[in-house]
Amino acid sequence: MKLLIKLNQRLRNIHLLPLLLCTVATVYGQNETTITGTVYGETGTMPLPGVNITVEGKSIGTSSDFDGNYSIRVASSDVLVFSYIGFKEIRKTVGESTVIDVTMLLDAEELEDVVLIGYGKQSRSTVTSALSNLDEVEMQKAPGANPLLQLQGKVAGVSLQIQDGQPGSNPQIFIRGGSSTSPEGDTPLFIVDGIVGGMRNISDLNPDDIKSVQVLKDAASTAIYGARAANGIIIVETKSGSAGKTQVNLRLTTGFDAMQKKLPLLNARDYVYLSRKNTAQFNTTNPDFFLTGGRFGMSTGNPRDSKNTLEFLDVYLQDYGQDYVADLINNQGWETMVDPITGKKLIFQNNNFQDATFQLGQRTEIDFDISGGGDKVNYYFGLGYLNQDGIVRGTNYKNYSLLYKGNFKLSDSWTLNAKASLSIRDANAPNNYEWVLARSVLLPPTYRKYYENGLPAPGEGISSFRNRLHEIHYKTKYNDLNVYRTTFQLGGVWDIMPGLTFSPSAYYFSTEGVENYFEAYNETVTNRPASARHNLDRHLQFDGLLNYDLSFNNKHFFNTVLGTSYNHDYSYRMSGSGREALTDHIPTLNATSEETQRVSTTINYDAMLSFFGRVNYHYDHRYMLSISARYDGSSRFAKNNKWGFFPGVSAGWNIHRENFFSPLSEVVSNLKLRGSWGKTGNNSLSIFDSRGRYSTGYMYDGNVGILNTTLINDDLIWEETASFDIGMDLGLFDNRVNLLVDFYNKETSERLFDKPLWSSTGFSAIKSNYGTISNKGIEIELNATVIDNENFSWDLGATFAYNKGIVEELPENGEDKNRIGGNFIYDPTTGGTIKVGGIAEGERFGGRWAFNYLGVYQTDEQAASAPNDLNASGRTKYAGDAIFEDRNNDGVLDNRDMIFMGYIRPSKTGGIVNHFKYKSLSLRIVTDWAVGHVIDNGFKARVMGSARNNNNAYKESLTDTWQYEGDDAIYPKYSVQSDYDYNFRNHNRWDYQIGNASGGANNSLYYSKGDFLAFREVSLSYQFPKRVMDDLNLSGLELYVGVYNIGYLTRYDGLMPELYTGRDYGTYPRPRQVNLGAKVSF
């Protein structure tokens, strides 16, 4: 308290300083009069302090005081120049007047250069930290649901990992390599219109309402958000109204989404041929089990209208008659062929389950907004509707959004701002991605899609995965999943005195999910399971912000922010389930049998209190200094460790404003050097990590059981990330070329990490603070106006980022480099073994090792000399099996024989945006790329290894798998007996803790580089000329068309190379999207 008062007194004293200086400046001069006056801001009523007033051609000047008043001694012939950052320069000839009042007008061009920083805005020219922004142009024509995707390739240092192509789904996003070795924990902090961290993602935000997206990358800019800012910050600002004529925009977009690429699966004829021939050739123990009895796709023994269609033609003719068979062949798409084993004729239907799973998705989007205002009030009102199908059948995404923002000027000193928004999402995603995307598509093509009565058939006949059409008909179509998001904000700005404002704000943000699931009676699931969930998350936030702007002598500019913030989160979960209803008519729980009903609710709280402050100073726009600090207390830590302190400091030098630089200014119009250091925190832990947890849910014999599930660690403290950044902003040729370059070094210490425990403790891990990792990198953003003629222009934007993540320090554990995890491999340089993998000091993380595939054994004799393959569990190897390199020649194939394949995350990423304009026509071409990662195509390995004995195969299996002695095949033999379960292990191998623990092949045969160049967007828009508009009484009309996610240039042979998890187990790929739209403005 005392300190604050003292500080305040200081500030009061400081403001006398400029007056004194002014006096000094006006002592000399001849034939002069004293001019006085007041400078006002745009409204004409608010005095504007700190305005520079200079005399043209002379070295005298002053600046306006706190009440906007100034006084200066000049000659009558002098010209006064009034200037202020963000406002247009005003020139007044003195003449006879002794009082000159001026009203400064906002300079739109200068304003564009104002960027959002934490709790405030700042002119780009004096910013000293590393940040990038994306304006509404990038958002306006976004094809579909998630605005985050628009960041890809356009912001250096932001890496997006696309998890799936489900509309609205969230990419995993890391800024500057994240701060942990587990990407899930690396999500940056989202701040949407001031709400800090309430939203874990912004997927449901209508891109059309977004004004700008700002990415804060270095700790000097994020330190003001202290805790949780370690992974960078993304600030989103939505549109607001501005004074002027009422503006109405209507935008209509339609389009469709399609798969970029299809899996190269066999048709029924080739599948039957290959799987039956190979069963006879390679399965000598029980071929009949696979070939008869209707058990598998390649089995005969399927009567009329059963799930599978394969049968001998003579059986069909005998049992169902000539006419029936003729109808099948002529009208129902059935085919016949000669059985490669018996020579008898087979009959079957050819069905494509890839087509049964994927579709062409339709998309419709309508956006409508009105904005406007006057002196006292301005408003923005936006309505949005989006209906987008996924490319997986039965999936879609609907979103209704409403946004209202208003500003009210209550009096000279009080302004009120209010925001209310509502969005309703109704989305249906695949219930289980693996079943739908990695299994349903692989159903053998001999299975039926539809029964004779027209109803969908299940495929193989199990409930987990099946014919997607069957699943939709009996299950997916009953899904009813709605999410309601509401935001209310009420804030005020109190202009206490010129330059000093106090802004209190209150925020309420809630997400409510209501989900209902039901499965109707069908042959695979007979008990009509129903379930429901009700989730409520509520975020309350109160901010108080004191802002003080001060400048004197036209040279010293201060901006001081002092604030406090309180965040409170509440989450409520209710779930219920039941089954054995007697009707399909009621999909809700009330129809289920009472004794099967179960219900559960949980409640959780989280709170954080923060105090923060920042001082930005610059001297004459030349020397900049910024200091900030934040003090955060989180409920997640134990009593003595709640509080964390996060300071940040940055400085900059606008060299181009120096006098000595003027000879160069013809070429170099802007040159700024920046440097920053700061510390941020991370509290990604549960309250129970610091207090221990006892959980229910351990029923026994009908009784409620409770167990201690989380080990207490009350020594936990904040994880800290200290980062250091040096950057340069360079503008050439009157800023036609702009270059931003940043080098950074980010070091995260006291990491909150699950420290592995030895098993006899009864726990596998305990949340602990340990170890240090670092991320170093370079980021470059280039923007250039290559051509700028009256009719034609070409703007080019390019980004480049390189990041290297290294583990710096781990707790002493007796191992070399204090390695945690990992395993031994053979080291050819010493002939011994070395330990690799896991995490170790001085090493990059995310390395992967695999068995080195060398080819195929051509004869049984050759195979007999194979090393003992532990994966194959003692199984004898025969001709057609894979040769894996026994690197240490010890006669045993184990982890020691694995070789390094690469790292799972790319080290270099970037993008290029080209924007061409010819008269009213504009063309955008966007590409982005990533290099340096590898992908283990586990999905392909499972297909080639027939992981389920009963799945379709790739075309390569027909042509490139081993068939006979001397066959120089790419792949080992194809057998319908699961390569995995029957211990052949030619395709899928153990991971030995240094490969992919799940979903990968761990076989070099299926590894490839993930490097890609993505053709992200080609779009064309046409703005109707003004005279046409005037005739139509419109203020604008724009038509546009675009294609997004056009394709990749890559060596990776899976569906999508944007995978940074090391393995591909079957993804929901990003669709190719076509967009058509029109925007009308009134």
Partner 1 sequence: MQRIKNIILILGVFTLGSCQLTEVDTVSDITNEQYWSTQGDVESYLFGIYNKMRNEQNSTFRFEDRGDSFVPGLESGLSSAWNQNLSPQNAPDWLGYYNLIHHCNLLLTYGAQMEFQVEQEKNQILAETYFIRAFSYFNLIRTWGEVPIELEPTESASEEQLARAPKSEVMTQILADIENALALFPGDGLVTKSRASKSATYALKADVLLWKSKVLDGGEEDLLAVITNANAASEGLSLESDFSQIYDSENKNGSEVIFSLHFEVDEKSDHYARNLKPRDIFVQDAVNFEALPYARSGARSNYMPSPKLIAAFDEHTTDTRRDASIIEAIAQDGSVIGIFDNKMRGTVVAENREYDSDIIVYRLAEMILFKAEALAALNRPAEAIVELNKIRNRAKIGDYTGPSDKNTVELEILKERYREFYLELKRWPDLLRFHFGGTVNVYSEVPNLVGTTVPLYFPIPVVQIDRNPNLEQTEGYE
Query: 447: closest CA among 289, 275, 278?
Result: 275
Query: What region does 176 belong to: left with phi over 0, alpha with psi -120 to 50, or beta?
Result: left
Site string for partner 1, 996-1015 (x = CB under 8 A): --------------------
CB of 701 to partner 1, least distance (A): 4
Measured from the CB atom, the residue of 623 and 763 that comes closer to partner 1 is: 763
Is there binding between residue 834 and partner 1 (CB under 8 A)?
no
Cβ proximity of 1020 and 923 under 8 Å: yes
Strand order, beta sheet including 311-312:
311-312, 345-349, 334-338
Kindly indicate which of the ranges 1-9, 14-22, 883-891, 1033-1041 contains the residues binding partner 1, using the contact rule CB under 8 A. Answer: 1-9
Residue 725 in the binding site for partner 1 (CB under 8 A): no
Those residues with Cβ within 8 angstroms of residue 116's Cβ, 6 or more apart along the chain or in another chain: 133, 212, 214, 235, 237
Alpha-carbon distance 234 to 188, whole Å? 7
Taking CB under 8 A as the rule, does residue 460 contact partner 1? yes
Interaction between residue 301 and partner 1 (CB under 8 A): yes
Three-state DSSP at 804 gives: strand
Q: 86, 287, 340, 544: which one contacts partner 1 (CB under 8 A)?
A: 544
CB of 983 to partner 1, least distance (A): 7
The residue among 246 and 813 lying less far from partner 1, judged by its C-beta, is 813
* Binding characters for partner 1, 102-141, by CB under 8 A (x = yes): ----------------------------------------
Judged by beta carbon, residue 110 or residue 434, the one nearer partner 1 is: 434
Residues within window 784-813 making contact with partner 1, judged by CB under 8 A:
813
Options 92, 124, 277, 295; binder of partner 1; rule CB under 8 A = 295
- The H-assigned helical ranges of 852-895 are 860-864
Q: Which of residues 574-593 bind partner 1 (CB under 8 A)?
A: 579-580
Among residues 381 and 982, whose Cβ is nearest to partner 1?
A: 982
Using CB under 8 A, which residues numbered 685 to 724 contact partner 1? 687-688, 691-696, 698-708, 711-713
Q: Check: CB of residue 624 under 8 Å from CB of residue 617.
A: yes
Return left, alpha or beta for 1001; rule: phi > 0 is left, psi -120 to 50 is alpha, else beta. alpha
Give the residue from 431, 441, 276, 429 showing the smallest Cα distance to 343: 276
**Sites for partner 1 among residues 347-376 (CB under 8 A):** none
Interface stretch with partner 1, choices 54-62, 683-691, 723-731, 1072-1080 (CB under 8 A): 683-691
**Contact status, residue 833 vs residue 980, Cβ threshold 8 Å:** no
Helix, strand, or coil (residue 266): coil
Residue of 36, 43, 182, 601 interacting with partner 1 (CB under 8 A): 601
Q: Which stretch binds partner 1 (CB under 8 A): 26-34, 392-400, 435-443, 628-636?
A: 628-636
Q: Check the CA dihedral 706-708-714-718 and report its sign.
A: negative
Our finding on whether 757 is near partner 1 (CB under 8 A) is: yes
Which tokens in the block code for residue 474? 């009996």
Select the residue interacting with partner 1 from 758, 790, 812, 829 (CB under 8 A): 758
Among residues 15, 555, 657, 755, which is the contact residue for partner 1, using CB under 8 A?
755
Taking CB under 8 A as the criterion, the residue among 182, 246, 590, 604 binding partner 1 is 604
Is 832 near partner 1 (CB under 8 A)? Answer: no
Stretch that binds partner 1, among 224-232, 602-610, 921-929, 1066-1074 (CB under 8 A): 602-610
DSSP state of 435: I
Structure tokens at 1033: 């009484």
Judged by beta carbon, residue 461 or residue 797, the one nearer partner 1 is 461
Is residue 221 within 8 Å of 206, Cβ to Cβ? no
Closest CA to 848 of 743, 980, 993: 993
Closest approach of partner 1 to the CB of residue 744, in Å: 32
* Positions 498 through 527 that interact with partner 1 (CB under 8 A): 500, 502, 524, 526-527
The β-bridge relationship of strands 792-809 and 772-788 is antiparallel
Question: What is the contact mask toward partner 1 in residues 945 to 984, using x (rule: CB under 8 A)?
Answer: ----x---------------------------xx--xxx-
Q: Which of 312, 404, 408, 763 binds partner 1 (CB under 8 A)?
A: 763
Q: Does residue 318 touch partner 1 according to CB under 8 A?
A: no
Tokens of 907: 């080290």
By beta-carbon proximity to partner 1, the closer residue of 94 and 947 is 947
Closest separation in Å from C-beta 691 to partner 1:
4
Report if residue 1028 touches partner 1, rule: CB under 8 A: no
Region near partner 1 per CB under 8 A, out of 125-133, 420-428, 480-488, 758-766: 758-766
Closer of 23 and 761 to partner 1 (Cβ): 761
- Least distance to partner 1 from the beta carbon of 144, Å? 36
| Rounded least distance, CB 818 to partner 1, Å | 11
Three-state DSSP string of 647-705: EEEEEEEEHHHCHHHHHHCCCEEEEEEEEEEEEEEECCCCHHHHHCEEECCCCECCECC
Stretch that binds partner 1, among 340-348, 389-397, 595-603, 1053-1061 (CB under 8 A): 595-603
Q: Where are the alpha helices (DSSP H) in 296-352?
A: 313-331
Q: Considering the complex, what minimum distance in angstroms separates the CB of residue 43 from partner 1?
A: 22
Asked if residue 599 lies in contact with residue 590, where contact means CB atoms within 8 angstroms, the answer is no
Residue 766 binding partner 1, by CB under 8 A: yes
Q: Is 650 in the site for partner 1 (CB under 8 A)?
A: no
DSSP strand pairing (414-428 vs 480-497): antiparallel
Question: Smaller CB distance to partner 1: residue 799 or 950?
Answer: 950
Q: Nearest to residue 421, comparing CAs of 258, 198, 682, 578?
A: 198
Cβ atoms of residues 202 and 192 within 8 Å: yes
Tell which positions 374-413 bind partner 1, by CB under 8 A: none
Does residue 814 touch partner 1 according to CB under 8 A? yes
Give the burial string for 321-331 (b: 16+ CB within 10 Å, else e): eeeebeebeee
> Quick one: which segment of 374-382, 621-629, 760-768, 1064-1072 binds partner 1 (CB under 8 A)?
760-768
> E strands within 296-413?
311-312, 334-338, 345-349, 361-373, 377-389, 396-409
| Token pair listed for 220 | 């000097």
Phi-psi region of 1035 (alpha: psi -120 to 50; beta: other; left: phi over 0): alpha
Interface with partner 1 in residues 1061-1080 (CB under 8 A): none
Residue for token digits 């222009």?
793
Closest to 850 in 3D by CA, of 995, 986, 1005: 995
Subset of residues 862 to 901 that bind partner 1, contact rule: CB under 8 A: 870, 873-874, 894-895
